[in-house]
């Protein structure tokens, strides 16, 4: 297992996997279960799946596909999207999901984090923070897959999530997501310095150098990869892959 977790993050839309750019323009990637099989063969340590339409469409998670994924995956599986009730979360753990990822619901019901953490343990609760940098360089927090701006300060919000019982934060820079332009190190470092729980950096990775920088400069506890593990390269076709493990270990060794 890698010293710093490097986690493929797959985006689910209806029954298929897609990849977005700045949370827009979803491009088809493939079948979720077949993709999970490939990551099994590549022996990744952890896998995350986010349903990008469940919350905005006000529907439950796709438990059928998630059950198939949980049965297929050899590695721990985290899932986010459309989890709004205790029963939703409970069903996730019953089918074999190891962590739930929540976001939008936390703005209306912050106590939901505490409820889940008290019952399932902090380690099983990941709270996502989606952040966009505006034209003035100010960071703004969004919910609803980047559609709704929230009136919270990102650092204060991260601290509050930790106090409420979040076990990890999945921090996504919307302005970097899918761009291959590297992580927003400034954003990530500001959050890792503010909280004591693990921060998973997400959005923008293009190569091993980006991963090295976000771990060593941004102090990320884990790294989430999207485009880099589903495409051959920028502007090229779909190819499910994972960085060479020895090169990865060398890059992230502190």
Positions annotated as catalytic residues are 130
Single out the residue of 194, 229, 191, 193 nearest to residue 210, CA to CA. Answer: 229
For residue 241, what are its two tokens? 């892959």
d(CA 107, CA 2): 33
**Which H/E stretch holds residue 210?**
helix 208-216
- How far apart CA 179 and CA 173 sit, in angstroms, is 11
Which of the 8 DSSP states describes residue 238? B
Q: How far apart are CA 36 and CA 49, in angstroms?
A: 10
């Amino acid at each position: 297992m890698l010293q710093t977790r490097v986690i493929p993050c797959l985006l689910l839309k209806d029954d298929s996997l897609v990849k977005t750019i700045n949370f827009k323009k979803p491009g088809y990637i493939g079948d979720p279960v077949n993709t999970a099989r490939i990551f099994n063969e590549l022996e990744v340590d952890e896998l995350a799946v986010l349903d990008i339409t469940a919350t905005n469409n006000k529907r439950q998670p796709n438990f059928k596909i998630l059950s198939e994924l949980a049965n297929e995956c050899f590695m721990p599986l985290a899932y986010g999207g459309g989890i709004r009730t205790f029963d939703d979360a409970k069903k996730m753990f019953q089918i074999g999901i190891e962590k739930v990822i929540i976001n939008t619901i936390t703005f209306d019901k912050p106590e939901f984090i505490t409820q889940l953490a008290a019952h399932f343990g902090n380690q099983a609760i990941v709270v996502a923070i989606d952040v966009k940098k505006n034209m003035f360089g100010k960071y703004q927090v969004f919910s609803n897959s980047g559609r709704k701006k929230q009136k919270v300060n990102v650092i204060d919000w991260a601290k509050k999530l930790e106090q409420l019982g979040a076990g990890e934060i999945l921090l996504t820079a919307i302005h970097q997501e899918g761009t291959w332009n590297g992580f927003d190190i400034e954003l990530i470092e500001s959050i890792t310095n503010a909280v004591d729980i693990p921060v998973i950096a997400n959005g923008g990775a293009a190569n091993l150098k980006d991963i090295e920088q976000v771990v060593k400069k941004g102090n990320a506890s884990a790294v989430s990869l999207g485009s880099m593990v589903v495409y051959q390269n920028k502007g090229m076709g779909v190819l499910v892959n994972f960085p060479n493990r020895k090169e990865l270990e060398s890059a992230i060794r502190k």
